[in-house]
Structure 1
Amino acid sequence: MNRYKNFNRIIIFFLSCTMFMLLFTACGNKSASDLKRSTENSAERQLDGNQIKKKYEAGLQQLVDDATITKDQADKVLNSIVTNASDLGKQTEQKQKDNLNKLVEDKVITREQADRIIEVIDKIDQ
């Protein structure tokens, strides 16, 4: 009888150790897959940022073609508004408007030009 108690204790000990190891192994695999997924999402966001920049370039080129702004102004506006373009949302829109307001204050563009640029950006973001 005593022999069976020791045998049961040994079996329970090995089962506990095995379950413990499987638990940590499974958690480790999940972390690796999460890291891979995070890296893929980061690459997608970067691609989206490049696509957004191209859309902004096209919108600003329309304003250059219409003689609303000059090519030099368009380049400065593009550099100003594409900062963190991959982070879409209201905060970014407000930051873009703040950057345009700074360009107006610095007399790079006029208020009317800034308003027209905001219209184009809003159409692009929709």
Structure 2
Amino acid sequence: MVGYQYVTLRCVPRVDREEFLNVGVVLYSQAADFLEGAFDLDRERLRAAFPDLELDAVDASLAAICRVCRGEPGVGLPTLDKPGQRFGWLSAPRSTVIQPGPVHGGLTKDPAQELQRLVRALVN
């Protein structure tokens, strides 16, 4: 078993109203050298809750988060070498349309499977 931390990714189109829908999860396990994000953008559900939301922009933001997890370079992406640094950057509070929830932790035998389980439990 290895320890892990995760944040739920929230779509918060109007920060002033504090209404959100969960759209993804980022999971980090230092012991397993694992940092990955996964998301499931339910366009119908988001459109019903937030009719004016630009779904393609949300999709692009979530894809950028996954790129940060992998340490890929790019315009507007941080240059952070270590997975722990990238998780710290991704889990930091922000006032954007995609926001991380609080950091939670757990134990798992397989971080990749746990990530998919968390997406099913918290997003779908």
Normalised by the length of structure 1, the TM-score is 0.34
Higher helix proportion? 1
- Structure with the largest fraction of strand: 2
TM-score norm. by structure 2 comes to 0.34
Structure with bigger RCO (C-alpha 8 Å, 6+ apart): 2
